[in-house]
Amino acid sequence: KTRDAADQLANTNSSQLLALERLRDKLGARTIAVVGGNGQILLESGGDTRQLTPDRPSAAMLRQARGGAVSSQLEGLEDEAAALQGGAQIRALALLPNTALRLGLDERYLMVIQRVPGSVLSNALAVQTANNEYQQRSLERGGLRRMYLGTLTLVLILAVFGALLLAVTLGNQLARPLLMLADGMRLVAQGDLSVRPALATRDELGGLTRSFADMTGQLADARAQVSRTVVELDAARTHLQTILDNLTAGVLVFDVEGHLETVNPGATRILRLPLSAYIGRPLADVNGLAEFAASLSRRFEQTLGAEGDMDREPWQEAFELQLRPKQDPLTLLVRGAPLPYGARLVVFDDISEVVSAQRSAAWSEVARRLAHEIKNPLTPIQLSAERMQHKLEAKLEGADQAMLVRSVATIVNQVQAMKQLVNEFRDYARLPSAQLKPLDLNALIQEVLSLYAEAQEKCHLIADLAPGLPLIKGDASQLRQVIHNLVQNALDAVHERADGRVVVRSSLSRTEAGAPRSVRLYITDNGPGFAEKVLKRAFEPYVTTKTKGTGLGLAVVKKIADEHGARIALRNQHPTPDAGSPPDDGSELPVIGAQVSLSFSNLVPVTEPGAASAKT
């Protein structure tokens, strides 16, 4: 009613106060008034005569009415008896939607105050009491509902928990074999094959666990067999590697692609190259072995054929390998064989010394035959020439006589030279066996050096002999020839130098325990040294750099050293590189001399008879 009255009041064009009176009469209201935005009474119709103006509406009613709703409030209920006698009233407040009754920019509200009859109020209070009871019952019903729901929830939780507990118990009973299998598999995966879970039941799970236990036992037996096999393979591999490491022959193994797979120390020693650094690479990558690798590849292709027949016999062939330009080539006896899966095996030996020995034996036979065939006619030739000179010299005069004398002298001199050559041939071919007796090497050296007193006086020959050397077993005559030959060669090498010097030195080599091992003789000079191509073949007959030499001196020395069980070695001397300079193999350093060394390991024990007398 208040909203409708506000709309009617906004649409009327008559006097505002008159309009309010009409509305009050129409509504039967006690008071009707226009209220400003701040709650101030602007116009009023009716009202309590005891009050100049009616009470203002509360701020809460103004906020509610400002939002467009009708705000109402029941008043006078503090005294219920007075209210039932008509003392209660209802206050309603509505926003005027039109600006017709507005005096300014503020909004205006229509406030209607109407008395509430006692009967209506009594019914309203009864309704309110019933509503309160209903609300109380509603609250109690909500509590009961919540309690009932809580009880049901608790029962449900207990039921679910019991079901889960029962399910877990039954699941454990059913899953125990599977858990046993899972633990067993985990232990087997970790390498423990001793666990063998098994159930005594006759169901499928029991059979599964028993099968797993049998499988674990078989795996343990198989692993033990594999371990034994691995140990045997390691032992065999170690044994084979030990054999390869101690083989004097060189061993190379190539894979199917021709890459180097295995190298033993013998191959490195023979070829004097770091082959181990080329594992996994072709042999042709090694400096100086490209031609050798190509020759090996061709030889394998010829042997295996186009289809790589594995039944072919291993091949053997001699190769000459030139590692450095200034050195003699190595003579290698190479044997090759195919291996399974396309691999190839190459075994080679350095037979350079064997070839040299064969060449020396051949020269010995040639020397023996030449000495026999040439020596016989030399004496008749010399005698015939001398007889011719004796018969014809008196019959010739002048130039003819001089020519005869000169020609006969030439024949005799050449015959003498040929006799000397034949004698050297004979000595080389028929060197007598050494008569080994206790010998003081220092005394023998001093005896030979006494023949070179002039060289010693000029400081061209120096002796540096270690005192207290043990006696060696040797042939004095043959060793005298050896020392004389080596000293003479050294003096010949330095005769053109004013500062030429030859040092003859002896020393004693001992074992780690301090026992005598060998007596060594060194003859060192500061001459031009040996040519690189001569070093490897210096002990072969007719290998010499002298213009007048026969080339048999060092060959005889080598034969005598072999008779005495001594080792002989030749080398050039080079200056020691400065600190910090890169390492060098000596081939690029200048030669400052040569050295020949003899090592006598056949020593006379101190307790042997004759040792003391030989020293004295």
What is the CB-side half-sphere exposure of residue 166 using CA atoms within 13 A? 6
Give which of 31, 93, 97 is closest to 23, Cα–Cα.
Answer: 31
- Catalogue the E-assigned strands of 47-189: 71-75, 89-95, 109-115
613 pLDDT more than 50: no
pLDDT band at 495 (very low <50, low <70, confident <90, very high): confident
Per-residue pLDDT at 347: 92
User: Could you write out the DSSP letters of every residue in 33-82?
Assistant: EEE-TTS-EEEEEE--TTSSSPPPPPHHHHHHHHTTSPEEEEE--SSHHH
Residue pLDDT, tens place only, 317-339: 888 887 766 566 778 889 998 88
φ, ψ at 555 (rounded to 5°): -65, -40
Fold match flag (2-116 vs 437-615): no
600 pLDDT more than 80: yes
**Rounded CA separation 25/17 (Å):** 12
Is the pLDDT higher at 175 or at 105? Answer: 175
Per-residue pLDDT at 579: 42
Per-residue pLDDT at 110: 82
Q: What percent of the chain has pLDDT over 90?
A: 10
Average pLDDT value for residue range 205-214:
78
Residue pLDDT, tens place only, 254-304: 998 889 998 999 888 888 888 888 899 998 888 888 888 898 888 888 876
Helix or strand run (H / E) with residue 244: helix 204-246
**Rounded CA separation 193/431 (Å):** 76
Q: Which segment of 102-106, 192-196, 351-355 scores lowest on mean pLDDT?
A: 102-106
Q: Which segment of 177-181, 370-374, 406-410 scores lowest on mean pLDDT?
A: 370-374
Distances from the Cα of 591 to the Cα of 459, 501, 526, 572, angstroms = 22, 15, 9, 6
Per-residue pLDDT at 306: 46
Most confident by average pLDDT, 86-90, 377-381, 607-611: 377-381
- Per the DSSP assignment, residues forming a β-bridge with 508 are 519
Per-residue pLDDT at 371: 66
Q: What is the C-alpha radius of gyration for the chain, rounded to an integer number of angstroms?
A: 67
Fold of 437-615: Heat Shock Protein 90 (3.30.565)
**Rounded CA separation 9/96 (Å):** 8
Is the pLDDT higher at 480 or at 176? Answer: 480
Per-residue pLDDT at 105: 53
Give which of 361, 1, 205, 467 is closest to 9, Cα–Cα.
Answer: 1
Per-residue pLDDT at 586: 42
546 pLDDT more than 50: yes
- Burial pattern 170-190, b for ≥16 Cβ within 10 A else e, equals eeeeeeebeebbeebeeebee
User: How many residues belong to the chain?
Assistant: 616
The burial class, CB within 10 Å (0-12 / 13-18 / 19+), for 498 is exposed
pLDDT band at 107 (very low <50, low <70, confident <90, very high): confident
User: Could you write out the DSSP letters of every residue in 449-467?
Assistant: HGGGHHHHHTTSEEEEE-T
Per-residue pLDDT at 543: 62
**Rounded CA separation 114/90 (Å):** 5
Structure-token pair, residue 130: 């019933």
49 pLDDT more than 60: no
User: Could you write out the DSSP letters of every residue in 401-413?
Assistant: HHHHHHHHHHHHH
Which residue do the tokens 């929830």 mark? 153
Per-residue pLDDT at 583: 47
Per-residue pLDDT at 547: 54
What is the CB-side half-sphere exposure of residue 356 using CA atoms within 13 A? 22
Per-residue pLDDT at 346: 92
**Rounded CA separation 269/27 (Å):** 135
Structure-token pair, residue 344: 């190839």
Let me know: does 339 contact 345? Beta carbons within 8 Å.
yes
Per-residue pLDDT at 507: 93
305 pLDDT more than 80: no
Give which of 479, 460, 373 is closest to 422, Cα–Cα.
Answer: 373
Structure-token pair, residue 505: 């030195």
Per-residue pLDDT at 162: 92
Give which of 586, 10, 567 is closest to 272, Cα–Cα.
Answer: 586
- Which homologous superfamily does the CATH classification assign to the domain defined by 247-350? PAS domain (3.30.450.20)
List the domain boundaries for the chain: 2-116, 133-246, 247-350, 355-429, 437-615
CATH of domain 2-116: 3.30.450.20
Per-residue pLDDT at 430: 60
Give which of 435, 441, 434, 433 is closest to 614, Cα–Cα.
Answer: 441
Residue 510 DSSP one-character state: E
Angle at 139 between CA 134 and CA 144, to 5 degrees: 120
Per-residue pLDDT at 577: 62
What is the residue type of 387? R
Let me know: does 465 contact 430? Beta carbons within 8 Å.
no
Residue pLDDT, tens place only, 579-590: 444 444 445 678
Most confident by average pLDDT, 65-74, 241-250, 393-402, 466-475: 466-475
Angle at 328 between CA 325 and CA 333, to 5 degrees: 115
Angle at 251 between CA 247 and CA 254, to 5 degrees: 160
**Rounded CA separation 95/93 (Å):** 7
pLDDT band at 213 (very low <50, low <70, confident <90, very high): confident
**Rounded CA separation 127/115 (Å):** 19
What is the residue type of 575? P
Q: Nearest 10 degrees: CA dihedral of 484, 490, 494, 500? A: -90
Q: Which segment of 46-55, 112-121, 182-191, 413-422 scores lowest on mean pLDDT?
A: 46-55
What is the residue type of 1? K
Is the pLDDT higher at 133 or at 3? Answer: 133
Neighbours of 10 (CB within 10 A): 18
Distances from the Cα of 424 to the Cα of 361, 370, 403, angstroms = 15, 11, 32
Average pLDDT value for residue range 84-99:
75
What is the residue type of 568? I
Q: Which segment of 85-99, 101-115, 167-181, 467-481 scores lowest on mean pLDDT?
A: 101-115
Per-residue pLDDT at 610: 52
Percent of the chain as helix, strand, coil, to the nearest 5: 50, 20, 30
